[in-house]
Amino acid sequence: MTVEELAHSADLNTKPAGRIRQKNQQAILNAAEEEFAKHGFKGTSMNTIAQNVGLPKANLHYYFSNKLGLYQAVLGNILELWDSTFNTLSVDDDPAQAVARYIRAKMDFSRRHPKASRIYAMEVISGGEHLSQMLDQDYQTWFRGRAAVFAAWSAAGKMDPVDPVHLIFLLWGSTQHYADFASQICRVTGGSRLVKADYDEATDNLVSIILKGCGLTPPGKDT
pLDDT digits (tens, 9 = 90+) for 209-222: 999 999 999 998 76
CATH number at residue 38: 1.10.10.60
91 and 60: one domain? no
Does 41 fall in a domain? yes
Q: What is the pLDDT of residue 85?
A: 86
The pLDDT assigned to 1 comes to: 45
Q: Are residues 88 and 196 in the same domain?
A: yes
58/102 same-domain check: no
Residue 21 lies in a domain: yes
Domain boundary among 11, 32, 65: 65
CA distances from 114 to 15, 119, 155, 164, 175 (A): 33, 9, 36, 26, 11
Q: Judge if 54 and 121 occupy the same domain.
A: no
Mean pLDDT, to the nearest integer, of 39-59?
A: 92
Domain end: 14, 31, 65, which one?
Answer: 65
Cα atoms found within 13 Å of the Cα of residue 10, Cβ hemisphere only? 7
pLDDT tens digit sequence for 157-208: 999 999 999 999 999 999 999 999 999 999 999 989 999 999 999 999 999 9
Q: Poorest-confidence range of 49-53, 55-59, 165-169, 192-196? A: 55-59
Q: Domain containing 26: what range?
A: 3-65
Q: How many angstroms separate the CA atoms of 56 and 164, rounded?
A: 48
For residues 79, 169, 206, 33, the Cα torsion angle rounded to the nearest 10 degrees is 30
In a domain? residue 162: yes
Mean pLDDT of 127-156: 93
Are residues 120 and 37 part of one domain?
no
In the structure, what pLDDT confidence band is assigned to residue 4 with cuts at 50, 70 and 90?
very low
The answer to whether position 167 is within a domain reads yes
Does residue 41 sit in the same domain as residue 86? Answer: no
Instruction: Identify residue 146 by its one-letter amino acid code.
Output: R
Q: What is the number of domains present in the chain?
A: 2
The string of pLDDT tens digits covering residues 80-128 is: 988 888 999 999 999 999 999 999 999 999 999 999 999 999 999 999 9
Domain boundary among 17, 37, 65: 65
State whether 58 and 80 are in the same domain. Answer: no
Mean pLDDT of 149-157: 97
Pair 60, 85 in one domain: no
Same domain, 103 and 195: yes
What average pLDDT does the structure give for the chain?
A: 90
| Co-location of 41 and 127 in the same domain | no
Report the C-alpha dihedral over residues 67, 113, 127, 28, rounded to 10 degrees.
Answer: 0
List the single range of 2-6, 94-98, 111-115, 148-152 with lowest mean pLDDT.
2-6
Checking if the pLDDT of 12 tops 80, the result is no
pLDDT of residue 132: 85
CATH number at residue 144: 1.10.357.10
Do both 80 and 186 map to the same domain?
yes
